[in-house]
Amino acid sequence: MIGTESGVAFGQLRSRFDTTLRPGFSLPRLGALMSRALTETLLDLSELTVLTEAATGAYAVTAVLAAMAGARHVYAFTKTTRHGTSAEAMDQTLKLADSVGVANRIDILEQITPDIIHQTDIVTNSGHLRPLTAALIDELPKEAVIALMFEAWEFRSEDLDMDACLRRGIPIVGVNERHPSVDVFSFLGPLCVKQLHDSGLSAYKNRIALLCDNDFIGSLRSGLVSSGASVDVFEDVQTLYHDQWDAIIVALRPAAKPRIGAPETAHLVACAPPGAIVVQFWGDIDRTVLSENGLGVWPTTPPGSGHMGILLSELGPEPVVRLQAGGLRAAEWVRRSGAMSSDGLAQIVTWHPDQSPTRARPSPR
């Protein structure tokens, strides 16, 4: 096929578990997507130093975006994970950086030393860096900021030491994913539909119960409905009623205990016919209890606690590029302005995980 041949010719970025070449991940396309995201977000990291990750697949773009945005220096930490080895992350990040002419602005690290932290203006809450410990936060310059890389209300206390941030006055900066220059929420509906299709169930003409108690609700419902599903939304498991559900999609904000445990499973069993599938989009579930009660669960491999059951990169690199550029831009805004004002791109985490969350304060772009 022409697309596959083009992908081979230009080179691609892919996770270690990909068995096919996907032309949507070609280096020229990634370069174009990154350039577009820089233009739309107005990201400018000149005179700033960024500490982030070197990763595989679509997530290799983070360090490269920072370098393309003119960062004084980009330090990209990597380690071996289930998504790829440190050697693969280094190779893919530098291959992408070389394709856009910024490889000389990125240093790949397998160890983060205090002298690097002392230079850092923005550190990203990226997978290879997590958790951001008090020891690291205490070494940051007082003007530094942490880029959460998703919305403030999605903050997970296990990602970083918030007490250390509060003590040092280091802002934790979320990004408004619904801002026009980012618009990642628009990908959530198609992402949920893909997850259904991966489970072996078409959205079209099927009866879907959507359990959702958070801001994902509008995007998920519209995406499912536009694909031809019949959808009813429930903000609490106990409000679900008996019907001929083909799938029950769980998109519940994670909590200290699984959102679907033994009591919730008993209610689902009473409400769902044999063969119904429980799809874990977001929110932790007790898979053992679900399986023991005869409910099918997707995906088969459980995501990490508090993490989504499907990655944005399953739709290709574009939503990841947009999110990473937006996350960096939000952090840049706060780092340069040091203040928040009316509605906009940047958000600040203003609550402690041991307290009830409050709405984040937004900033202008």
* CA atoms of 314 and 191, how far apart (whole Å): 8
Averaged pLDDT, 166-194:
97
Asked if omega into 131 is within 30° of 0 (cis), the reply is yes
Residues of the chain above pLDDT 70, percent: 89
Are 56 and 12 in contact, with CB atoms under 8 Å apart?
no
Predicted local distance difference test score (pLDDT) of residue 322: 98
Residue 204 contacts by C-beta under 8 Å, 6 or more apart in sequence?
Answer: 227, 228, 229
Please give the single-letter amino acid code of residue 131.
P
pLDDT of 362 > 90? The answer is no
**Rounded Cα–Cα distance for residues 303 and 297 (Å):** 12
| Residue 363: per-residue pLDDT | 36
For residue 356, pLDDT beyond 50: no
pLDDT tens digit sequence for 55-97: 999 999 999 999 999 999 999 999 988 888 999 999 999 999 9
Instruction: Please report, for residues 22, 75, 146, 222, the alpha-carbon distance to residue 161 in angstroms, rounded to integers and kept in the order given.
Output: 38, 21, 11, 36
Length of the chain: 365
Q: What is the pLDDT of residue 14?
A: 59
CATH H-level, domain 2-182+316-362: superfamily: NAD(P)-binding Rossmann-like Domain (3.40.50.720)
- Percent above pLDDT 90 for the chain: 84
pLDDT beyond 60 at 353: no
pLDDT for 21: 72
**pLDDT tens per residue, range 223-251:** 999 999 999 999 999 999 999 999 999 99
Q: How confident is the model at residue 6 (pLDDT cuts 50, 70, 90)?
A: very low
Q: Given this chain, do its domains 2-182+316-362 and 200-298 carry the same CATH topology?
A: yes
pLDDT surpasses 80 at 330: yes
42 vs 4: which has the higher pLDDT: 42
Q: When comparing pLDDT for 361 and 35, which is higher?
A: 35
DSSP state of 253: -
Q: How confident is the model at residue 339 (pLDDT cuts 50, 70, 90)?
A: low
pLDDT tens figures, 301-319: 999 999 999 999 999 999 9
**Summary mean pLDDT of the chain:** 90
* Average pLDDT of the residues in 145-174: 95
Q: What is the pLDDT of residue 301?
A: 93
Task: Say whether domain 200-298 belongs to CATH 3.30.1180.20.
Answer: no
What local confidence, expressed as pLDDT, does residue 338 receive? 74
pLDDT recorded at residue 343:
54
Q: What are the boundaries of each domain within the chain?
A: 2-182+316-362, 200-298
Distance CA 26, CA 6 (A): 8
pLDDT in tens, 190-220: 999 999 999 999 999 999 999 999 999 999 9
Q: Name residues whose C-beta falls within 8 Å of residue 118's C-beta, 6 or more positions apart in sequence.
A: 139, 140, 141
Q: What is residue 340's predicted lDDT score, i.e. its pLDDT?
A: 57
pLDDT at 3 over 90: no
Q: What is the pLDDT of residues 262-287, one digit of tens each?
A: 999 999 999 999 889 999 999 999 99
